[in-house]
Amino acid sequence: EDKVVQSPLSLVVHEGDTVTLNCSYEVTNFRSLLWYKQEKKAPTFLFMLTSSGIEKKSGRLSSILDKKELSSILNITATQTGDSAIYLCAVGDSGYALNFGKGTSLLVTP
């Protein structure tokens, strides 16, 4: 049973569309939820959400943590082809390593 579930697993949109990626989790002693973007090789950090910081925004990207629903969303507005990537969600709990979901593969077509 996966601790972190992302949906959808893949998504194709047109440039300019707005997309919402979902991440739900089931862990004990939640500490943090992180979003990463992976284009070809190394994942790059986007946001970290905690109980004291449930909403983050950077340019066209924003993310919200819903601790009641045990989930988070990542919104991308006015998508560009450069947004095409795998988006990874990871959750930190009482363990010593983050728990990753399977990722959402986003393709933005011109």
Query: Where along the sequence are the contacts to other proteins (CB under 8 A)?
Result: 6, 9, 31-32, 34, 36, 41-45, 48, 88, 90, 92-98, 100-103
Phi/psi at 30 (5° precision): -55, 135
Q: Measured from the CB atom, is 3 or 13 closer to other proteins?
A: 3
Encoding tokens for residue 51? 């109980």
Using the minimum distance from each CB to other proteins, give the nearer residue, 67 or 77. Answer: 67
Distance, in Å, from the CA atom of 72 to the CA atom of 33, rounded to the nearest integer, reads: 8
Closest CB 61 distance from other proteins, rounded Å: 16
* Beta bridge pairs of residue 88: 36
